[in-house]
Structure 1
Amino acid sequence: MGEEILKFTKLTFIIHFIIGLVFTILFWIPDITSPILGIERTLDTHAMSLTIGALFAALVVSSLCGIFAKEWKQVRIVVIAEMVWLVAGMVTTIVSFAAFDSVMAVLMIIMSIILLALFLLTFLQQEDKLKPLF
């Protein structure tokens, strides 16, 4: 297993950081998020939106740690957790598809697939299961 963090890994964390930051801000402003998702803004959806925003904030911090980490062992668990989160998020989005605006749900699934692919490639490269892409 390679100890140094590859450029691809850093790039993955940077991409995830940017996307996560956007989602953190969006979910912390339910007046914006509710119409985008096509759901009615209620006290319940407001609370859920803020909670999801807090989750995204934590993921943003984990990606920030990944950006500044020096060794793979410092962020290995973060990459695994991200992959689990992305798979779980896709499953719940698919199961709850009818509750969302269909265009937004499809975009969320596509974005999750792209991020999952990046984190999976990161993991495989760092674990020496795949030749580094760059």
Structure 2
Amino acid sequence: MMFAADIQWPQTMTTVAGLVGLLTIGVLGLTFWSLCKKLFGLTPPMGEEMDKRDKKLRQMIFASETNLKAAIDRAEKRTDRLEDLYREMEQDRARKWSVLQNQLHDLDKKIAIVIDQLSRKDQNP
């Protein structure tokens, strides 16, 4: 406890307060310097930054638009191809149906002839 009695507390407190004050002034000075550097430093003007962003966005929009147009063209070609295929199938179905109808009509005539011949044989025994 002898050690504590030898220290001059008022002078020590003044010295510590001065050191804390100097440290605070140093931190404030560095903070002010950093803010000034950000404010007045070599940063591009706002207009140039906006032009860069605008150009980048326009490129993205153009790329998206090009991709969408290509997708639409592919879809239209596929739709046209399917429509052509459908028309061909309809024509083929109609042609086959008419051939089948003709074959059935011919078969009907032949059956009528056979029935007529059989009925004549039955009448003339």
Question: When the two structures are superposed, what TM-score results if normalisation uses the length of structure 2?
Answer: 0.23
Higher helix fraction (1 or 2): 2
Higher Cα Rg: structure 1 or 2? 2
Q: Whose RCO is larger (CA < 8 A, sep 6+)?
A: 1
